[in-house]
Amino acid sequence: MESIACMTTMLLIFGILSSHQSSAHSPGQPSTGFAAAIAKSLDSLLRDYSFHGVSHPRTGVTYQGKVPSNISGVRTAMVRLRSGSLRFRGLKRFHEFDIPDGVIARPYVQRLALVYQNLENWSSIYYRLPGHRFIAPVLGLLAYEAEDLPLTNSTELHILATEKPISIKFRNLAQKTGAKCVWFDPEGLPRLSDLRPGNVCITRRQGHFSVVVNSGGLVVPNLRPGGAADGWSNIWRIAGAVAGGFLFLVLSVLLLMWVKVYRREKRMKEMVHHAESEEALQKQRIGGAQLPVAPMVRTRPALENEEPMAPHSPASE
């Protein structure tokens, strides 16, 4: 655990440096690149802390993770589920998250683990939104493959709410006027959406979520409105890709059929041409059938040892 704590300290230093570097070089842009890589490293670290000490997790039971003192305040938890149970039953009240039925994971696995994060006062260190300030902690919801035990170095999955969206209920907001939901996607890009009644934000995918207000300075550029709830656009993209692939498959089959028919017709034409170029045979009825016979004999037969006879001369007698 000492090595992990040392790694966490280095991670924190890199995170602070990257945040200052981002604000110094591009004050009008959301922090990405190196800062996003640091946030990903934090995700892996909190995943390991969530799995640490849980050798045989029971399905559907939430286990609270323990983090070192140098990142005190950060909270994490883990629950192991069957993919079928998540899809047909969902998961109610997973801390601030309410996951409805209809949520699928890609790539498909039989068992997965949902990891909860609450960054508390570390939120603004690992996630930045120029021109805005956080009025709620950054909450994370990530999914990992959980087929084998113990859970170590699990692969991250992608979840998608195909029916009702996932809701996140934030408690004790200090300010509500002008508040917006923000979703940081897996690449670290922020997307804003409206805060719903009851301090609720919605999403259709995993990521990190919080509530922000404009600080009266910069406006975040290149953000797509309705970000956390725009999963339907991705669904349409997937549907379009599937339709395009199906159309390509149909065209490929039609092309193969055309090539096959073309080769068959070409072969038939060659056979007809070859038959017409040969000498026609006459037909003669033999018994009850007509059989082809040669019209004439081109070469007269000769004996194998036949020699021409010498002319008979009277003088030789």
> Which of the four pLDDT bands, split at 50, 70 and 90, describes residue 104?
very high
Token readout for 86 is 């998540």
Q: How far apart are CA 174 and CA 183, in angstroms?
A: 19
pLDDT value for 242:
75
Phi-psi region of 37 (alpha: psi -120 to 50; beta: other; left: phi over 0): alpha
Say if pTM beats, i.e. exceeds, 0.75: no
User: Given this model, what pLDDT does residue 147 score?
Assistant: 85
* Residue corresponding to tokens 């199906």: 246
C-beta of residue 89 within 8 angstroms of C-beta of residue 164: no
User: What does the pLDDT average to over 165-191?
Assistant: 89
Residue ranges of domains in the chain: 2-229
More confident residue, 243 or 13: 243
- Lowest mean pLDDT of 26-35, 69-78, 114-123, 240-249, name the range: 26-35
140 pLDDT more than 70:
yes
Choice among 21-30, 146-155, 190-199, 249-258 with the minimum mean pLDDT = 21-30
pLDDT single digits (tens) 295-306: 655 566 666 665
Between 3 and 136, where is the model more confident? 136
Mean pLDDT, range 221-236, rounded to an integer: 48
- Model confidence at 312, pLDDT cuts 50, 70, 90, reads low
Mean pLDDT of the chain: 78
Is there a contact between 30 and 129 (Cβ–Cβ < 8 Å)?
A: yes
Q: Over range 31-56, report the average pLDDT.
A: 82
- The string over 130-162, giving b where at least 16 C-beta atoms fall within 10 Å of a residue's C-beta and e elsewhere, is bbbebbbbbbbbbbbbbeeeebeebeebebbbe
Q: pLDDT band at 4, cuts 50/70/90?
A: very low
Q: In whole angstroms, what is the distance from residue 186 CA to residue 142 CA? A: 10
Class of domain 2-229: mainly beta
315, pLDDT greater than 90: no
Please tell me the distance from the alpha carbon of residue 201 to that of residue 203, in angstroms, as a whole number.
7
pLDDT > 60? residue 25: no
